[in-house]
């Protein structure tokens, strides 16, 4: 992720029509990622908000907009407005759960994740959004990787077989955030933790925590006691077995490898591939 200094209405990437439409002022570019640009803006009432503009590579995140609209702020930031591939979001704050984890570890961070999970999966009177991404489609890059020659094929074949078995035995399917990890949980000025940047999936609840096993990065990822403890604490919240959670975690690690193998290549992608391959191998050995 790259960040820039103050952005102005003359930013060639900033949709100035949205500033007028939503009565926004003082846009400041706070993040420029592979999928989107995010600006902190000032609303007419003086409050701050986040203007998110998707790039062509981030078109898939529109399903995340639908998820936020359906969730209506239950555990997540609120979607305030949307116009095609851009949206206005509640400002969730600047303190991340990743920073808390770095300072105090899982003992402080995991209980917050456990508080958020029931909110993210709470029933709603509204019907499920129609344009959420199925897990089958979400795993498509994994299935493609399993058919390609290369250094990751054996691991991809294992993960693909696990994924197909898990998908064939889903006991229930619900809307999922789909990218829950410590960097996507922020604390606002009111002290409330909220989840940002959903993928907007629909499928087995056990997949919801899969990315947590590979985050935040560091040697703790390969501590058997940590992995076992996370699976045990999440299992009753998701109404499934710890083993099912671990299987999805191993699958997701290889899905992440498949994403990082896509061009353009970068040092960050190469590092992610190395770390996720180690995470997948470690979880695979635990399952075995």
Q: Mind telling me the catalytic residues?
A: 179
178 closest CA partner among 200, 156, 146: 200
Is 38:45 a contact under the CB 8 Å cutoff? no
Q: How far apart are CA 75 and CA 84, in angstroms?
A: 24
114 closest CA partner among 180, 197, 172, 64: 180
- Which residues does 171 contact at the CB level (< 8 Å), separation at least 6? 204, 240
236 membership: H or E segment, kind and range: helix 224-238
Tally of CB atoms within 10 A around 13? 11
Dihedral (Cα; 199, 118, 227, 101), 10-degree rounding: 80
Tally of CB atoms within 10 A around 141? 18
Q: Nearest-5° angle of CA 205, CA 211, CA 216?
A: 145
DSSP SS3 for 36: strand
229 closest CA partner among 120, 75, 113: 113
Is 54:36 a contact under the CB 8 Å cutoff? yes
């Amino acid at each position: 992720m790259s960040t820039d200094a103050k952005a102005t209405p003359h930013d060639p990437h900033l949709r100035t029509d949205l500033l007028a439409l939503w009565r926004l002022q003082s846009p400041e570019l706070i993040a420029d990622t592979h999928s989107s640009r995010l600006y902190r803006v000032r609303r007419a009432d003086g409050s701050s908000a986040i203007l998110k503009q998707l790039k062509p590579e981030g078109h898939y995140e529109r399903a995340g907009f639908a998820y936020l609209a359906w969730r209506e702020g239950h555990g997540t930031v609120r979607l305030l407005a949307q116009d095609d591939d851009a949206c206005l979001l509640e400002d969730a704050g600047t303190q991340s759960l990743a920073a808390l984890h770095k300072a105090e570890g899982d003992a402080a961070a995991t209980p917050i994740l456990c508080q958020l999970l029931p909110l993210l999966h709470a029933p709603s009177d509204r019907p499920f959004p129609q344009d959420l991404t199925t897990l089958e489609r979400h795993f498509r890059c994994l299935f493609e990787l399993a058919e390609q020659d290369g250094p990751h094929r054996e691991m991809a074949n294992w993960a693909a077989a696990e994924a197909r078995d898990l998908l064939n035995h889903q006991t229930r399917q619900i809307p999922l955030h789909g990218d829950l990890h410590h960097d996507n949980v922020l604390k606002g000025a009111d002290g409330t933790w909220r989840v940002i940047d959903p993928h907007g999936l629909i499928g087995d609840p056990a997949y919801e925590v899969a990315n947590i096993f590979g985050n935040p990065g560091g040697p703790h990822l390969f501590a058997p006691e940590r992995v076992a403890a996370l699976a045990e604490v999440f299992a009753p919240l998701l109404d499934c077995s710890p083993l099912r959670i671990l299987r999805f975690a191993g699958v997701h690690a290889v899905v992440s490898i498949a994403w990082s193998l896509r061009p353009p290549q970068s040092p960050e992608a190469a590092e992610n591939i190395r770390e996720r391959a180690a995470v997948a191998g470690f979880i695979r050995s635990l399952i075995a």
